[in-house]
Amino acid sequence: MPLPQTPTAVDGGGAAAAAITTPCEAQARTSCQRCHRRKKKCDRALPQCGNCRMARFPCSFLKDDQQTAAYPIAFVRSLEDKVRKLEDELAAVVKDAQAAAHPDTILEDQIMEPSGLEFPVLQAAVDQSPSQVRPITATTTLGDELRLLSLEAAAERHLGSASGISFAKLTQAVLRRLTPDRADFVFHKELEVESTQQLLGGSPVDLLGSSLYHGFDSSTAFHPPFFCGITLSDITDPQPSLVDVQLPPQSHLQHLVDFYFAHSHTLYPIVRRREFEETLGTILSDPQDPAAQSPLWLFRLWMILAIGSTTYCSVALCEESESMLYYNKALGYMEDALGYGDMVALEVIMLQVSYSFFNQLGPNTWFLVGLAARLSVGMGLHTFSSYDALPVDVAEHRKRVFYSVYMMDRVVSTALGRPFALHDDDIDVEPFADADDEDIDATGIRQRNPLQPSTMAVPLHLLRLRQLSSKIVKSVYSNKRNANMSISEREAIIYSLHRELLDWRRSMPFPLPDTHPQVPHLSSNWYDFNYYMQVAMLYRPSPLFPTLDQARVETLGDAAGKAIREAITMHRQQRFAYNWLNLLALFTSTLSLTYATTARPENLAVVLRESKAIETLQLAIELFDTLSVKFSAAKNIRSMIEEIVARYTEIDSQA
């Protein structure tokens, strides 16, 4: 979106001019030219930055029509409201003028005018003295919060039943039990009026947008940047500073590479580790080697550094300037890398998906996953016949890539409640082998000691979880499949899926690879967390079981509470990933626990004591308090939970 060309005062009236402020309704992607030259931190506010405004200097943003910017959704919607209001006012003026010119047509207009249409009206603010100024209080609902949380995280528009949006609305309705007159339980968010940036940034619509990480350095000032003091305002600057960026010291580079292969590679084995490490050694030892000049290998290297950095920061809660710098450096080689063929193009897209799970700087995750899925289907990677003439090592790598796309598709589509891009019925290729790169060559796979599982045992086990998640979505959340089923048939589906989840949890790889103490999925708690998340998804109200009996409600509450407790355990072990996927997972777990607690027909005070719901929700508050360091929406969620806990505590104390 080009910069707004709004005229701004840059000279004139002394103190009055200095007092002029422009609400930070949008942020440019890069620093202005003046701040860049002066090595000053630029807030990138539009239509001119704060430094230039204070200095009464013409900001380069005012004349720049090539710059792009991020506009909060709340700001765009406010503009839409203003346009509608102005259109209404204009229509009224035109109508009055026409009535004055043609009084005989008034009666006809009244007959033809449709009734019952309501348009939003902006209420004028009441004048208040400074002592009367109070924080602006906005009301929200659980459904509003989940919708904004999901859409801002990964995509736009549609949310399906599996996303939990209908369940959030149901939970909102159940909370009427907590109000004396059974009226709606309304959440109130206090938004500071002093700063427009805080007002917009405190809204859930600001969650995970590209503007979030541009301001992340100020919100985590207690964590020094990893990379030479570079701040976020310098990262996406198109000036030669990005071109001059060099590889970090070898010890730090090795730390990021090791963390990538310990973390992301055991989730989505996209890159051949042995080949990458050999090429990296060549690049470091001989910068003139052809590999050191290859756009493909340079893209891989910088993307792996970016992913390694952002995944580490998601656990350690350090600021993201380094990973964003590496990501933008990698993008400089992307176009040339795409020319290496379809498999390379697929790898390029998937590395960006892997990055987007932890940092929303680039294109949205939904779009990238869909692109990768369609490219893989176009190459025939979903059919076994495509692998017949390939060497074994090449075939195994392609299977890893394809099933990584599959797992990414299941994660994002389930979170948003959308149809899968890859359908299980269309896939007939078997999963990749439980073998590391050194055990695979062009002719076959060397048998490994069964007492020493390979690192591929982890992503294979996760693949089974994603396949189970796919079955839950199709069997439980499909309206067409469930329309004519009897109660016994529905119960059999739930029982079968719950049994498969139990088998999955009990067959966890053991021992898990001990490659890094802060990788979440190399801990048994992570598998417990995901097991209870899937059980909660299985038992919450759905098209298969729109209404729940008491036993199912209790199972739902138990699973949701245990998911929160497993998350707090990982949080205190410093191996919990603070990314948007876990933020959404924790919110839906909190919704499930709140629903299961409030919907039970017994005396609520007794339920609260037996289920320990208050204590568990207080643990959730602790988690969202930490997540609020990165995600502004977590502050709103924390406040909502605090209101529920306060009401629960009041009910408990009165019993």
* Mean pLDDT (whole number) for 328-356: 93
What angle, rounded to 10 degrees, do the helices at 550-572 and 604-611 form? 40
How far apart CA 128 and CA 98 sit, in angstroms, is 39
* Residue 440 main-chain phi, psi, to 5 deg: -120, 130
Give the helix ranges, DSSP H, for 20-124: 33-38, 50-55, 73-101, 106-112
pLDDT of residue 178: 65
Confidence of residue 193 (pLDDT cuts 50, 70, 90): very low
Q: Is-contact 439 445, C-beta < 8 A? A: yes
pLDDT of residue 101: 58
Tell me the CA distances in angstroms from 190 to 31, 598, 635, one per residue in order.
31, 25, 10
Confidence of residue 115 (pLDDT cuts 50, 70, 90): very low
pLDDT of residue 131: 37
pLDDT of 371 > 80? The answer is: yes
* Mean pLDDT (whole number) for 5-9: 39
257-302 pLDDT, tens digit each:
999 999 999 999 999 999 999 999 999 999 889 888 899 999 999 9
* Percent of the chain clearing pLDDT 70 (strictly above): 71
* Mean pLDDT (whole number) for 127-152: 47
How far apart CA 105 and CA 85 sit, in angstroms, is 25
Structure token digits, residue 270: 């996209």
* Mean pLDDT (whole number) for 450-464: 91
The secondary structure of 373-388 as a DSSP string is HHHHHHTTTTSGGGGT
- Tell whether the torsion through CA atoms of 585, 589, 594 and 599 is positive or negative: positive
Confidence of residue 386 (pLDDT cuts 50, 70, 90): very high
Name residue, tokens 């003026």: 93
Give the helix ranges, DSSP H, for 448-578: 457-476, 479-482, 487-506, 524-539, 550-572
522-558 pLDDT, tens digit each:
999 999 999 999 999 999 988 899 888 999 999 999 9
pLDDT of residue 202: 31
Query: Does the global pTM surpass 0.85?
Result: no
pLDDT of residue 64: 72
Question: How many CB atoms are closer than 10 A to CB 481?
Answer: 14
End-to-end CA distance of the chain, in Å?
A: 57
Torsion angle (degrees, nearest 10) of CA 487, 491, 497, 502: 170
Structure token digits, residue 577: 């990933």
**Beta pairing partners, 27:** 45, 70
pLDDT of residue 173: 67
589-619 pLDDT, tens digit each:
999 999 999 888 788 899 999 989 999 999 9
Number of H helices, E strands in the chain: 28, 4
pLDDT of residue 179: 64
